[in-house]
Amino acid sequence: MAESFVNPYTFVPFPDLAPHRSAPHGHLGRGDLLSGRLMVTIDAETPLLIRGITAQRDDTPQLPRRPDGTPMIPGSSLKGALRSLHETLVGGCLRVFNNDFVPGYRDSAKPSDIGTVRMAVVKHHDDETAPPVLLLCKDGDPRKLRLHQKDLLGLHSEDNPLTSGDRLKVSFDAESGKPTGATRSADGEWVVFITDSHARESKSPYRAHIRRLPPEPKTVDVPAEVWRSYVAALEGADDLRTKRVKDHDETERYASVTFDYKPKGGLETTLTLGRRWLVSKRLHPGQPVWVRVQGDQIIALRHAMIWRHNGDYRAEERIDSRFLPCEDEQHLCPSCQVFGSADTSGRDGDHAEQHSYRGHVRFGDALAVGDVAGLEVTLPPMGRPRPGAGQFYLVNDPNTRGNASARPLREWGSIADQDRKPRRLRGRKYYWHTPLGTDSLPARGQARPHQLESAMTSKAVAFPPGTRFTATITFTDLDEIQLGGLLAVLQPSSLLGQRVWQHIGGGRPLGYGSCTVSVDTEHSMLWRSGSRYGAEGTAAQPDIDGIIASFQTWVQSELPAVGNQWPLVAKVLAPNTVDPNKVWYPPGAGWKQQGSKEFDDGYSFWKQTSGAEMARDKKSQRRTGFPLTPLPELCEDDQSMDIIPADKAVPLPQQQRHPLDDDRKGRRK
C-alpha cells in the first residue's frame, strides 16, 4: 500500500453567484453610520514570519521593529490577510489577480523536435526590449556532434572555465563522424553548447552539443514576434526565480554546470564540466542559442534545445468575468466598499481620470507585548506558485481525470480545454494550518542539509509561537452589516461556530503564520447618531456577537450561495482538519527518508500526475502514460494523495484515452 501525504494548499471554490456590487456609502459622515475603534489581540500559534520591513545590517535578518525598537507586525500585513478572508466570506472580487497570466511549460525531449533546431551565436543585442542579431551555425546531426564529458573535463579548469559558446578545434573519427577530441582556440570553427544537467539521467554520460560556425557565417535578424514569444516563455524559468530571491548583480551571467554521474554498477561522482549562460532577457555577444528556421526566416528562438512553450488562454478567461476586480467606484463588491478599491485599469484618455475608492478601515501596527527573542532559521528553497499545474489549479471534469494525451492534460490549452471553453480556476487558495506540538519551528520550514548550498535558500528571523501582539483598528462610516463583516474576519470562530485560525505574514507554504485574533470588547468603542448604541456623541462598547449575527443573517438571506460555502472555509481554517505531520509538498520518497534529497524531489509526482501520454509498449502494444491525477476537492473527507517514489510509466487501457483526443497528438488553440 502506497504511503500518502497532504498537499500544503487547497482551494475554496468560487460561489455560483456574482459579487454583490452596489454604490458605497462615501465619506460624507452620514449620521446613521458607525465609526469607532477596535482593540485587537493577536497570538502566534506557529512561528510568524514578517520579512522585508526592517533594513538588515551586514545581511543579518532581524525582526521587524518600529523606530523605537518595538517588534511589530505592520498594519499592511494585517490588512492584506483580513481582506483576503473577507473576500471569501462575502464572495467578493479578486482584488489581487493577474488577468494576463499564462504559464510556460518545459518542452518534452522528442527526437522529432531536436532535429528541427539549429545553433546560432549572438552577434549583438543592444536592448532587451528589441530582438538580437544572430550568426547562424551550420546544421548537423544531433546524434553525432556531441562532446563526451571526458573531453569537457579536459577543456575545463577552475582558473580558465569552459564556457558555453567557447570556440574549439575538433578532431573527428573518419568512419563514425563523431568527435574524438577537442582543444580550445579563439579561431576555432566549432562552438560548444553547455546546458544545465538536472534533467539528464545520471546513468548516462553528459554530452555537450557542438556546431560549426563558418568563417563568414550568415547574419540573421530575429523577428519581433519571435522575440516576444521567447521573452514570454522565460516566465517561470529557474534562473529568473533565483535572481528574484537573491537579487543577483545585473552583471552576473554564468552558472556552474555540475553533473552527478552514476554509471550502472559504479559509484556516483560529481563532475564540474564548465559554466552555462544564465537565462536572461538580455543576450550577450558570443552566447549560443537555438533557433528554428523556415527558409531564410527564424520562426522560433530557444535558450536550450529542449526549451519552453506557452500555454493557452489567459487567467481572466478561466474565471467567471464577474469576479474580475472592481473598476467602477460607484459599483463595488462588499470587500472593496470596506477596504477600498484601487484603479489599476491604466485607462488612456484626453484627461486624467481616477476611479479608486478610499477604504473605511485603518490598520495600526500590531506591537509585540514584552520582550521577544526571534527564532533564526534558514528557509528552504521556495519558488513561485505553479498555477500552470492544471491537475491542481484547474477544474477537471470526469472526461479529463485519469486520462492522458500527447500534450499533457495538465497544460493550459491541452485537449482538456474542450471546444475553446477553457477549464476554470478552482477557487481561492488557502493553506492548511499545521500545529507544531513541542517543536519551535515547522519541519518543512527549515532548510534540510542537502538544500543549504542552494541559491534559493534564505535566512530569516521569525516571531516564536506564543508571541502576543496588540493592535488598534479604526473605522469610519460603516453600516452594521459592514461592521459585522469586519468583526467576522477578526473573530471567524464566532461566525463559523468552531475554533479556527488565520494566516498572517509570509511563509504560509512552509507552516508559518498561523494566528488567533480576538477583539477586546472592553477597550473597543463605537458611536453613531440616533442608534441603540448610544445618544449622539456618546461612545459605547460594541455588541460583537450581535453585530456578527446581523452580518450572518444578511449573507444567508442575500447571498445564500456564498453562505453555503462557509463550512468549507471553516474546514480549511481549522487547525485539526488534516494530520500536520503529513502536510508536505509532493515527496519523492517514503516518510522514512524525510529530510533527504530524494524525499524533497517531487519531480516524479508532477510527471506521473500530468496526464501525459507516452509511446506504446513494444511488447503489449498498450498505451502507456501518466493519468491526470487532481488535487482532492476541499469537500472530500480524505485530503491525502499517494507518494510517488519512482519514475515508472503506468499502463493505460484503451478506454482511458481522452475522449476528445482523436488524433492522439493534442492540439493548440
Rounded to 10 deg, the angle between the 480-490 and 75-90 helix axes is 110
Is 652:31 a contact under the CB 8 Å cutoff?
Answer: no
The DSSP bridge pattern shows strands 623-626 and 650-652 to be: antiparallel
pLDDT digits 0-9 by tens, 583-632: 999 999 999 999 999 999 998 999 999 999 887 666 766 778 899 999 99
- Please report the pLDDT score of residue 51 as a whole number: 83
Is 415:661 a contact under the CB 8 Å cutoff?
Answer: yes
Task: Please state which of the ranges 145-154, 185-194, 370-379, 534-543 shows the lowest mean pLDDT.
Answer: 534-543
Residue type, 288: P
Average pLDDT of span 521-526:
93
- Please report the pLDDT score of residue 668 as a whole number: 39
Q: Which residues pair with 462 in a beta bridge?
A: 375
Q: In this prediction, what percent of the chain has a pLDDT beyond 90?
A: 67
Q: What is the mean pLDDT of the chain?
A: 88
Q: Residue 109 pLDDT > 70, yes or no? A: no
CA distances from 582 to 7, 456, 591 (A): 8, 24, 9
Cell of 461: 528571523
238 backbone φψ class: left, alpha, beta (φ>0; ψ -120 to 50): alpha
What distance in Å separates the CA atoms of residue 103 and residue 311, rounded to the nearest whole number?
6
Average pLDDT of span 117-132:
93
Is 517:573 a contact under the CB 8 Å cutoff?
Answer: no
In three-state secondary structure terms, 8 is coil
- 557 confidence band (pLDDT: 50, 70, 90): very high
pLDDT digits 0-9 by tens, 262-321: 998 889 899 999 999 998 889 999 999 999 998 889 999 988 887 778 889 999 999 999
What distance in Å separates the CA atoms of residue 381 and residue 456, rounded to the nearest whole number?
5
pLDDT digits 0-9 by tens, 162-186: 999 999 999 999 999 999 999 999 9
DSSP for 537-566, please give it: T--B---HHHHHHHHHHHHHHH-HHHHTTH
**Cα-based angle 102, 104, 105 (whole degrees, multiple of 5):** 140
CA distances from 647 to 201, 601, 609 (A): 12, 11, 11
What distance in Å separates the CA atoms of residue 524 and residue 521, rounded to the nearest whole number?
5
What distance in Å separates the CA atoms of residue 342 and residue 339, rounded to the nearest whole number?
10
Q: Which of 237-251, 287-301, 551-565 ranks highest by mean pLDDT?
A: 551-565
The DSSP bridge pattern shows strands 357-358 and 428-431 to be: unpaired
- 349 confidence band (pLDDT: 50, 70, 90): low
Task: Please state which of the ranges 9-18, 19-28, 220-229, 446-455 shows the lowest mean pLDDT.
Answer: 446-455
Q: In this prediction, what percent of the chain has a pLDDT beyond 70?
A: 88
DSSP 635: T
- Please report the pLDDT score of residue 107 as a whole number: 78
Contacts of 301 (CB under 8 A, 6+ apart): 222, 226, 227, 229, 230, 289, 290, 291
Q: Residue 410 pLDDT > 80, yes or no? A: yes
Number of Cβ within a 10 Å radius of residue 549: 15
pLDDT digits 0-9 by tens, 426-467: 999 999 999 998 788 999 999 999 998 877 889 999 999 999
Pick the closest to residue 532 from 522, 520, 521, 546 (CA basis).
Answer: 546
pTM exceeds 0.75 for this model: yes
Pick the closest to residue 473 from 490, 485, 453 (CA basis).
Answer: 490
Q: Residue 530 pLDDT > 80, yes or no? A: no
> What is the dihedral angle through the alpha carbons of 196, 198, 201, 207, rounded to the nearest 10 degrees?
10
- Please report the pLDDT score of residue 241 as a whole number: 52
In three-state secondary structure terms, 147 is strand
Is 540:526 a contact under the CB 8 Å cutoff?
Answer: yes
What residue has cell string 569552459? 162
Q: Residue 325 pLDDT > 90, yes or no? A: yes
> What is the dihedral angle through the alpha carbons of 605, 103, 279, 599, rounded to the nearest 10 degrees?
-20
Which is more confidently placed, 297 or 668?
Answer: 297
Q: How far is CA 422 from the centre of its chain?
A: 20
Number of Cβ within a 10 Å radius of residue 566: 20
Residue type, 141: D
Cell of 67: 523606530
- Please report the pLDDT score of residue 662 as a whole number: 46
DSSP strands (E only) in 72-166: 72-73, 104-106, 118-124, 133-136, 146-148
- Please report the pLDDT score of residue 659 as a whole number: 56
- Please report the pLDDT score of residue 438 as a whole number: 79
The gap between the terminal CA atoms of the chain, to the nearest Å, is: 41
What are the phi and psi torsion angles at 153 (to 5°)?
-60, -35
Where helices occur in 264-394 by DSSP H, the ranges are 334-339, 390-393
Q: Of all residues in the chain, what percent are helix, strand and coil, respectively (each to 5)?
A: 20, 25, 55
DSSP for 322-342, please give it: GGSPP--TTSB-HHHHHHEE-
Pick the closest to residue 379 from 451, 467, 466, 464 (CA basis).
Answer: 451
In three-state secondary structure terms, 84 is helix
- Please report the pLDDT score of residue 669 as a whole number: 38
